[in-house]
Amino acid sequence: MKKKRQIPSKLGIGLLLITCLLSLIGALFVFEASVNESLTTFGDRFYLFKQQLWGIGIGWIALLCGLIIPSHWWLKISPLFYIFSLLLMSLVFLPGVGLTLNGAARWITIAGVTFQPVEIVKFSLIAYLASLLTKKIQLWSFAFILGLPAVILLLQPDMGSLLLILSIGIGLYFAAGGELKQIGMIALFGLPILLLAVLSSSYRLQRIMTFINPESDPLGASFHIRQITIALGRGGILGQGLGNSSQKYAYIPEASTDSIFAIIGEEIGFVGSSLLIGLFAAYAYIGYRLVQQSTQSQAVKLLGLGIVIWVSVQVLLNLSAVVALVPLTGVPLPLISYGRSSLIMVLFATGILLRTGKQT
């Protein structure tokens, strides 16, 4: 009897092509947005661009690993992986290992390699919840699992990642059959804590006040969002042309990371930005279809759906912050922003999503 083999579906091939295209677009605009920063900080105008290329190379190897390794294996080790990722994220507070930038402790350095452990936590949480939510799990157990990384993120502080983690968890809980009443109870308990965390921090409160009144401090707290708005306004319909952004020359803070979409909007305008958003929408739609048509176990399908929620919500948070629909969050644009930790983990997760959609 001939051995059955698994082949990628047409949807899987489409997702692979979209991922490849987004990676290339990201590399292009990281180069465009980081030339000035690379030259002034590292003395090499191509430094951040070369680092991004390294991330793409490692990320595509990680994608192949996610595509080759059976998905149920990640579910099997998910409890240990979840605990390990939380320990990694706790190391940000350890002197000599944790790295604090701009008042936030979000990075760790091990053997000369700096990365953000929250990127690993995003995947480990999805895998652990996917393995648990197919069974009967009590609401307090779910809240405890979701609450552990939430507390660490509040202490760092990293409100953008906190909102993303909460969205992933609640989205998976609802997809697994959780009732709206139960989700409402979680929100009723969590919102006052979140509000207290915002009001107790002058930094977070300043972000909220800047969002409400961008004109309040144009050369101080409101400088970032005002410069982003100027960049998008200069882009107009068709943009200023590739390489012609003026806002990337030290006007926009974090131009190659969290605010890279503002540079994209300035250079390729509304039309080009809309096409990029269309690629992300296609990623989410194809990913959802892959999960929906999958013949694998319910836990594996929840794992794939969690990845779709992760990427989709992160895109929404980043774009909403850039166009001033929500306060600035510090969340990178997946596959586009500079940042090897995010890039590698999103590519790895995409490989697992492709594995979910393989057909025999």
Q: What is the pLDDT of residue 259?
A: 86
* Cα angle, residue 308 at apex, residues 272 and 296 outer, rounded to 5°: 140
- Distance, CA of 230 to CA of 315 (rounded, Å): 21
**Cβ atoms within 10 A of the Cβ of 194, count?**
17
Q: What is the pLDDT of residue 127?
A: 95
Burial environment of residue 184 by CB neighbours within 10 A (0 to 12, 13 to 18, 19 or more): exposed
Q: Is residue 4 part of a domain?
A: no
Q: What is the pLDDT of residue 360?
A: 40
Residue numbers of the domain that contains 233: 10-356
Q: Is residue 230 part of a domain?
A: yes
Helix/strand/coil for 109: strand
Q: Which two tokens stand for residue 95?
A: 């002197």
Q: Any residues with CB less than 8 A from the CB of 170 and at least 6 apart, and which? A: 146, 183, 186, 187
Count of domains in the chain? 1
- Residue 115 phi/psi, 5° resolution? -155, 165
- Among 41-45, 46-50, 156-160, 350-354, the minimum mean pLDDT is found in 156-160
**Residue 2 pLDDT > 60:** no
What average pLDDT does this structure show over 350-354?
A: 95
What average pLDDT does this structure show over 157-176?
A: 88
Q: What is the pLDDT of residue 263?
A: 92
Q: pLDDT per residue over 249-287, tens digit each?
A: 767 777 888 889 999 999 999 999 999 999 999 999 999
Whole-number mean pLDDT of the chain?
85
Q: Is residue 3 part of a domain?
A: no
Q: Is residue 223 part of a domain?
A: yes
| Three-state SS annotation for 68-87 | HCCHHHHHHCHHHHHHHHHH
- Distance, CA of 59 to CA of 75 (rounded, Å): 21
- Distance, CA of 7 to CA of 54 (rounded, Å): 29
Q: Is residue 294 part of a domain?
A: yes
**Cβ atoms within 10 A of the Cβ of 80, count?**
11
DSSP β-bridge partners for residue 113: 110
Q: Is residue 115 part of a domain?
A: yes
Q: Is residue 5 part of a domain?
A: no
Q: What is the pLDDT of residue 174?
A: 87
Q: pLDDT per residue over 194-236, tens digit each?
A: 677 666 666 666 666 666 666 665 555 566 777 888 888 888 8
